[in-house]
Chain A
């Protein structure tokens, strides 16, 4: 995924991929090699590991991760290359000569076993008391090599204190094997860089700036490091015990909202292939384990589109019609709390570009403890509101001090997909076997537009579906086949799209009449939008905006902190790869296609809430109080 030129990772940890020769495809672009006496032809510069993988030859790995630049530090992947004095790390060896490789000589096997034994000797803990039991690369490796004892001893005391300062990520460095995947994730994939190896020799460990607690550094809580840690050294801050307590407390009315990405991925926790959507089975399971009501976060995703879309139209009108120079454009999406915190730290001067609309999770929180509590006649103080999210940053988000507009903590607990699966398993339920049930009223099932928020480009697609119809007065299907806005889909890191609106505009719908008299001012305009995922890509776009480049001309930009968007979030099942993320995306888009309502403004529950509760409409007085928020200029230096 990462390329040499656009990475900040130390060179010692980079792949130095050999440049593809210009003659690629012709003779000279490939090279003939031998692996285990089998003759093969591979493109010049392929690593030995990739050559093995392509030819179904298994080589164990640990520090290697397909999403990350190459480290070559664990040495578990060593192989013999004929004529070389030492064994070579297959993950870090680009093939540029007709080499002969052996992947399983006595020396190789012994070396791998030694390396595993060494790692285990310093690895504190026992698998049965470990969160990664059954899903741990170190454990699997030990099993693969038949480890049945500690050849070089085993530490019996933790080496480091656990850092549980962060709402999102817990660091237990006594379980760290120094593969540096987290370091590479944080620097290379996310451009944050709060983790680095410090000290030398046996004192080497992964540290934050000045060894500060994670809560006191500029971590954006994205949890991408958790998803790529091969062991339990990094994990999310799990609130499930407190949630059980609430469920078991008869006085409490415990509700839960489920986001689309967990539903597309939670099956993986139960052994299913990636890409099996469990939306309706999950409803049943959550009810069975004791939640009083299950709601669809997509409902507030639809609401977000109404609020954020309206906000965009207001900004555009102010800029284009009122020539108000103080209006900030492009408007940035604000539903990814990792991205929001990234912006607050790295580009605080741009926080006014963020949409003031809260994320769907937080909007729901505010509605549950006001509108919903009132409707069912329960004291909001007795309502406990939980959110199943693909995201570790959502835990931080619900603990932001400003997220209390309902008069209470709007969302009490952010639960990751992994933690939700754990609770379900604990209750003795096998999720895939659950019957399907619908979401509970009064919010019901939401639209496909809210659903696709889970994939990168989804917010933009949902917004376009709505804005096009509300402004142009035509069916989005007339412009885009089946209403699928293909140009904003896909996993390209940065997508830029221009949408000429044409000369025909429609009538202003009732719900927006108080805001704009007509759409004439949008005639002939071209809407410029961009979609960005992964904060490393966000950095590129932000730097371009700072420099006055083409992205500064955009009207609306969707930013997601995590690669792939929420479906690749830091709370999702482990492991993660591009292929897995693509399968989750497919599940989400397929489900969207299967729904009758696929546009936020057609969600009848949304329209009803504007009739019944948020009576002054999108961006009106009450929605401003409950559904909008403000941000903090944090900067890079924290006290």
Chain B
């Protein structure tokens, strides 16, 4: 995993998140507007969760706000565990004002007194600077009691280090982990908006989702919604890695095509693009005109580029090994299903398979997608199904001319 600190020397540019913003402005604006108007503005923006699931943020906040309970929580999901994703890290390191202001605005809107950042264990190195930042906010009364003079608006933020498992990014497993339990996803319903951290209504939001909020406050939901596509408004950070000249984090409006991306990052001889990390889908060249959007190929931000020298079967094997290890082990389809899919890949690798068995495994994959308890198992067969489908010529060609590993 990369852990290098990206310096802010190279100024980033982008339509929303990488645009100019002054710390505290969004909070001031939100406090002037009042809760209901904040919710209306967020609803107008049609902002959807950036953590992967794409649930409308305004709805989540409304549900949490509507829950009748004196104690509520806002959790910032900074677990960033999806392979190939590192955009939340950029936001936390370079744009903490957006993330934290977003958390204050969110807390104000849903009626929470406490915000919690669930920080990926590997990001421990940024803990000190983030804590310092929060301390500064307290000094400036952006946190603490009666924030910016608003009587009764008390709110503070704490940072908790993650347990180091991919599953802990899943919101209910995250809550389990926060409560000191083993990271396992919960049964739903009820949802965290009703019964979350410590049994209290809790809104779990991705770092990037929260970081979009201050800009929506400043420039309005309508402005935000003019960008992107009809169902995917605003912009998105993409963590682009793999075989390309300029990997990194880019902010683009939703709706860009894969081909646009490849051009932007200077990718040559691209054979395949994995959209959405290990749990996403793998697209061949024939599908490079597809759009990045919730309605077409959705992603929490990870885009991995593979050129013609890559062996698709080994890529798939890597993904499946990841899931075999990272499944929380709770439910049958995911715990054992991923093992079977990995075994299938190994059978193909050794050329000891029957097509009938591989078909069985694809059917099993479909069962895993609908019968697993949480998003991990539900999405883990995606690569298996898409790679075997989209690259069947390479994989099942006995000459194995897919290139070296």
Bound CA span A16–B367, Å = 26
Chain B residues closer than 8 Å to A107, beta-carbon distance: 367, 370
Q: Does A261 contact B (CB under 8 A)?
A: no
Against B, the Cβ 8 Å flags (1 = close, 0 = not) of A95-124 are 010000000000100110011001101100
Bound CA span A73–B325, Å = 18
Chain B residues closer than 8 Å to A201, beta-carbon distance: 323-329, 335, 338
Chain B nearest Cβ from A518, distance in angstroms: 57
Question: Which residue of the partner chain, among A10, A87, A119, contacts B371 with CB atoms under 8 Å?
Answer: A87
Chain A residues closer than 8 Å to B327, beta-carbon distance: 200-202, 204
Q: Among B55-63, B77-85, B186-194, which stretch is in contact with chain A?
A: B186-194
B378–A178 touching, CB < 8 Å: no
Q: Does A152 contact B (CB under 8 A)?
A: yes
Bound CA span A11–B173, Å = 10
Chain A nearest Cβ from B345, distance in angstroms: 14
Q: Does B243 contact A (CB under 8 A)?
A: no
A115–B371 touching, CB < 8 Å: yes
A12–B360 touching, CB < 8 Å: no
Question: Which residue of the partner chain, among B187, B328, B363, contacts A92 with CB atoms under 8 Å?
Answer: B187
Contact A111 to B370, CB < 8 A, known contacts A11-B179, A15-B187:
yes
Among B332, B364, B372, max chain A CB count under 10 A is at: B332
Against A, the Cβ 8 Å flags (1 = close, 0 = not) of B351-368 are 000000000100110010
A73–B336 touching, CB < 8 Å: no
Q: Which of A140-159 contact B (CB under 8 A)?
A: 151-153
Q: Which of A377-405 contact B (CB under 8 A)?
A: none
Chain B residues closer than 8 Å to A10, beta-carbon distance: 176, 181-182, 184
Bound CA span A118–B340, Å = 8
Interface residues of chain A: helix, strand, loop or mixed (majority): loop
Q: Does B339 contact A (CB under 8 A)?
A: yes
A200–B329 touching, CB < 8 Å: yes
A115–B333 touching, CB < 8 Å: yes
Chain A residues closer than 8 Å to B370, beta-carbon distance: 78, 85-87, 107, 111
Contact A178 to B364, CB < 8 A, known contacts A94-B189, A202-B339:
no
Number of residue pairs A-B, CB distance < 8 angstroms: 141
Contact A16 to B190, CB < 8 A, known contacts A75-B373, A121-B336, A122-B336:
yes
Bound CA span A200–B173, Å = 13
Chain A nearest Cβ from B351, distance in angstroms: 18
Q: Does A18 contact B (CB under 8 A)?
A: yes
Contact A178 to B186, CB < 8 A, known contacts A12-B172, A111-B367:
no
Q: Which of A56-80 contact B (CB under 8 A)?
A: 70, 72-76, 78
Q: Does B272 contact A (CB under 8 A)?
A: no
Contact A114 to B335, CB < 8 A, known contacts A16-B190, A87-B371, A152-B364:
no
Among A10, A12, A70, A94, max chain B CB count under 10 A is at: A12
Q: Does B165 contact A (CB under 8 A)?
A: yes
Chain A residues closer than 8 Å to B218, beta-carbon distance: none
A11–B332 touching, CB < 8 Å: no
Q: Does A93 contact B (CB under 8 A)?
A: yes
A114–B329 touching, CB < 8 Å: no
Chain B residues closer than 8 Å to A177, beta-carbon distance: 332
Chain A nearest Cβ from B128, distance in angstroms: 29
Against B, the Cβ 8 Å flags (1 = close, 0 = not) of A221-264 are 00000000000000000000000000000000000000000000
Among A15, A92, A115, max chain B CB count under 10 A is at: A115
Contact A12 to B189, CB < 8 A, known contacts A118-B337, A178-B329:
no
Chain B nearest Cβ from A82, distance in angstroms: 14
A200–B185 touching, CB < 8 Å: no
Bound CA span A96–B175, Å = 23
Contact A75 to B176, CB < 8 A, known contacts A89-B187, A107-B370:
no
Chain A nearest Cβ from B182, distance in angstroms: 7
Chain B residues closer than 8 Å to A13, beta-carbon distance: 184
Bound CA span A399–B85, Å = 58
Question: Which residue of the partner chain, among A78, A110, A202, contacts B336 with CB atoms under 8 Å?
Answer: A202
Bound CA span A85–B366, Å = 12
B189–A75 touching, CB < 8 Å: no
Against A, the Cβ 8 Å flags (1 = close, 0 = not) of B180-214 are 01101111011000010001000000000000000
Bound CA span A115–B366, Å = 12
Question: Which residue of the partner chain, among B186, B195, B364, contacts A114 with CB atoms under 8 Å?
Answer: B364
A119–B332 touching, CB < 8 Å: yes
Bound CA span A307–B363, Å = 67
Contact A12 to B176, CB < 8 A, known contacts A75-B371, A200-B325:
yes
Contact A118 to B332, CB < 8 A, known contacts A10-B182, A12-B172, A110-B363:
yes
Chain B nearest Cβ from A554, distance in angstroms: 33
Chain A nearest Cβ from B373, distance in angstroms: 6
Interface residues of chain B: helix, strand, loop or mixed (majority): helix
A73–B373 touching, CB < 8 Å: yes
Chain A nearest Cβ from B110, distance in angstroms: 20
Chain B residues closer than 8 Å to A87, beta-carbon distance: 370-371
Chain B nearest Cβ from A432, distance in angstroms: 39
B329–A202 touching, CB < 8 Å: yes
Bound CA span A220–B340, Å = 38
B373–A89 touching, CB < 8 Å: yes
Chain A residues closer than 8 Å to B333, beta-carbon distance: 75, 111, 114-115, 118
Q: Does B158 contact A (CB under 8 A)?
A: no
Chain B residues closer than 8 Å to A111, beta-carbon distance: 333, 367, 370-371
Question: Which residue of the partner chain, among B190, B329, B367, contacts A115 with CB atoms under 8 Å?
Answer: B367
A73–B332 touching, CB < 8 Å: yes
Q: Does A478 contact B (CB under 8 A)?
A: no
Bound CA span A555–B187, Å = 44
Question: Which residue of the partner chain, among A12, A86, A115, A203, contacts B330 with CB atoms under 8 Å?
Answer: A12
Select from chain B the residue with minimum beta-carbon distance to A70.
Answer: B187
Chain B residues closer than 8 Å to A18, beta-carbon distance: 190
Bound CA span A73–B335, Å = 10
Chain B residues closer than 8 Å to A74, beta-carbon distance: 331-332
Chain A residues closer than 8 Å to B179, beta-carbon distance: 11
Q: Does B299 contact A (CB under 8 A)?
A: no
Contact A11 to B176, CB < 8 A, known contacts A16-B190, A73-B330, A114-B367:
yes
Q: Which of A1-37 contact B (CB under 8 A)?
A: 10-16, 18
A197–B189 touching, CB < 8 Å: no
A72–B187 touching, CB < 8 Å: yes
B335–A152 touching, CB < 8 Å: no
Q: Does A199 contact B (CB under 8 A)?
A: yes
Select from chain A the residue with minimum beta-carbon distance to B323.
Answer: A201
Bound CA span A448–B333, Å = 52
Bound CA span A204–B165, Å = 14
Bound CA span A364–B66, Å = 65
Chain B nearest Cβ from A365, distance in angstroms: 43
Question: Which residue of the partner chain, among B181, B325, B340, B369, contacts A12 with CB atoms under 8 Å?
Answer: B181
Chain B residues closer than 8 Å to A115, beta-carbon distance: 332-333, 367, 371
A16–B195 touching, CB < 8 Å: yes
Bound CA span A113–B335, Å = 16
Bound CA span A201–B342, Å = 13
Against A, the Cβ 8 Å flags (1 = close, 0 = not) of B285-327 are 0000000000000000000000000000000000000011111
Among B323, B360, B364, max chain A CB count under 10 A is at: B364
Q: 26 interchain pairs (CB within 8 A)?
A: A10-B182, A10-B184, A11-B175, A11-B186, A12-B186, A12-B187, A72-B187, A72-B331, A73-B332, A78-B370, A78-B371, A87-B371, A89-B187, A96-B189, A110-B367, A114-B371, A115-B332, A115-B371, A118-B337, A121-B336, A122-B336, A152-B364, A201-B329, A201-B338, A202-B324, A202-B329
Given contacts A10-B182, A12-B186, list 16 more A-B pairs with CB under 8 A: A11-B175, A12-B181, A74-B332, A78-B370, A85-B370, A107-B370, A118-B332, A119-B332, A152-B336, A178-B329, A178-B332, A197-B329, A200-B165, A200-B325, A200-B327, A202-B339
* CB-CB nearest 10 A-B residue pairs: A204-B329, A12-B184, A92-B187, A118-B336, A114-B367, A111-B371, A72-B187, A201-B327, A111-B367, A10-B181
Q: Which A residues contact B (CB, under 8 angstroms)?
A: 10-16, 18, 70, 72-76, 78, 85-87, 89, 92-94, 96, 107, 110-111, 114-115, 118-119, 121-122, 151-153, 177-178, 196-197, 199-204
